[in-house]
Amino acid sequence: MSMTGVLRPGHVQIRVLDMDESVKFYTDVMGLKPMGKDAQGRAYFKTRAERDHNSIILRQADRAGMDFFGYKVLDAATLDALEKKLQARGVKTERIAAGELLETGERVRFMIPTGHAIELYADKTAVGSGVGCTNPDMDVLDAPGICPIRLDHALIYGTDLEGSRDLFTDVLGFTLVERALLEDGKTDLGVWLTCSAKAHDIAIVRHGEPGKLHHVSFQLGTWEQVLRAADIMSKNRVSIDMGPTRHGITNGTTIYFFDPSGNRLETFAGGYDHYPDMQPITWTWDEIGAGIFYHDRKLNDAFLSVVT
């Protein structure tokens, strides 16, 4: 992977119902670093190893969910080129001025066929990780809370899965890593896509309503850190949806849980490396239970149906 276009997930804006309660949760339980508030009252956070100023933005609203998911691109020329490719595809784009998000440069926002707002940007103020960039110590996990490494991916639910899949692969340069099929053996139920060498940087599942969020995921380093996260969740009476367990799809270890507003989050560790020359992995309908939850090989109805 040459990493010359879209680099990685960069930020997500999450709607919360009670800002004070949410700030406390994302600080004390998630272990994210608060990075300030803006004039709109939005709260900003970063994870322990991210070098850019922010990745998680909270906005108080009357319903939970996701406002937008953003990807960082290589540079301003790449941002311009990708915007032109989107427009040539017939996608309407919007330029959002630098500074509208704290410490973030100009952004290109567009809607994908599943009804979600996606953003691209090239610039965000580099503040460094906790250990710095010169003769750094090891990033020892000694802070309170779960302390994820980075924002990892999102799983979105929407109507036109094919349209969004093709936009990511044909225009933005993502690669199809895995797919799960419906009972007809031909139609995609879900797809897992990457812009890097990770198992996925976004996943899309077919759903009867557009614009829904299934979860936002945070990367941890090891299975032991996933278990540590489970202990922290239990101690803080966090509502756990599923886990700790393992996925068949991506091979990652996982816990799904809810923030105080009902947004589903994930702690994710592991997963394999993927390169563009690899054939996508396919999961058939009769084995979809093992694909989602490899250990017990069955699906949780709430896991499939609860979205924000």
Active site residues: 153, 200, 215, 247, 256, 266
Distance CA 207, CA 293 (A): 20
DSSP-assigned beta bridge partners for residue 193: 176, 202
Distance CA 106, CA 99 (A): 7
For residue 91, which of 171, 176, 201 has the smallest C-alpha distance?
A: 171
CA distance readout (Å), 15 to 18, 22, 173, 257, 308: 9, 10, 29, 16, 9
